[in-house]
Structures are given as C-alpha cells and as structure tokens.
Amino acid sequence: MKVSEILKVKGDILYTVTPETLMAEAVNTMAEKDIGSLVVMEFGELVGMLTFREVIKTLHQNKGEIGASTVRKHMDDHPITITPDTEVNEVRRLMLERHARYVPVVSARTLHGVISFYDVAKAVFEAQSFENKMLKAYIRDWPAESDE
C-alpha cells in the first residue's frame, strides 16, 4: 500500500501557518481544529512542522506560558518527508526510527498532505481486516477433496 492511497481516503484538508505566526495563534488553531500538527509554509514551500511535541517543549521552556514568540523559533525546521509513492511499511519504519508522529507528503516541492501515525495504523488495520475476511471466506468455501 502506498501513501497516495491513504491520502485519498483521508481527504485533502490541510492546516498551515507561516514561520511568523505567533505561537499562541498556532496553538489556538491546533486546539480549535483538534489537530496535532501544523505545516509551516513560507513562499509556497514547506519549511517546517509544528507538532504538539514542539508546543510542549515551548511550554516547558517558558514555565507553563506559551509566550509571545513566533512559530519559527519552535518549529522542527528539518522534518522528514515522504512522497505519495512511498510504501506504508517504509513510512512505519521512518516514523518509528525518527519518533515522528506526523510526516509531510511532498513531491516536486508540492505539499500533498500530512500522514499521521494514526493514519498509518488505521490503514494497516483496515488492510489486515480485509485480508482476514478474504482468508476466512476462502477457508469456509474450501472445496472437499475427492477420493481419486
């Protein structure tokens, strides 16, 4: 299964901010939209990711306050990226290896979406459920052996 298949099911809603967006505004967007990440775009290109991990680090650094700084100061400015043709097993490996819960999907400098650890887990679960149903149906309809 490829990332493009997950994106088709997931839909194309994508939330972005600029590096100059205030952290407080970014956190409000994440809370209002019930999302765990924002893609940071500048001049039409991906320049970083802001996830709840960076938000928690910011709160810790500021002793519980979000502060008045911008996203640029706190974002992950070197996020791993994948392409729509990346296989899901490779995405799982990368996410586990890099402890990444959100990965932008990019090809030819075009952002196609973000795949979350949840999206991957759901896709794998649904694929395995389908395989299990097919195997059970096959076993149920197993032809009787003839005594030739």
Domain boundaries of the chain, sorted by first residue: 3-140
Can you tell me the distance from the alpha carbon of 20 to that of 17, in angstroms, rounded to the nearest whole number? 8
**Residue (of 91, 83, 69, 66) closest to 22 by Cα position:** 69
The whole model's pTM is what?
Answer: 0.80
pLDDT band at residue 148 under the 50/70/90 scheme? low
* Residue 148 tokens, joined: 């030739």
- Report pLDDT digits (tens) over 67-118: 899 999 999 999 999 999 999 999 999 999 999 999 999 998 889 999 998 8
The CATH T-level fold of domain 3-140 is: CBS-domain (3.10.580)
- Report pLDDT digits (tens) over 40-77: 999 999 999 999 999 999 999 999 999 899 999 999 99
Residue 10's pLDDT is what?
82
Look at 67 and 26; give whichever has higher pLDDT: 26
| Secondary structure letter of residue 143 according to DSSP | P
- Averaged confidence pLDDT in the chain: 89
Look at 137 and 120; give whichever has higher pLDDT: 120
Cβ(50)–Cβ(56) below 8 Å:
no
Distances (CA, A) of 54 to 22, 69, 70: 14, 13, 12
Residue 147's pLDDT is what?
61
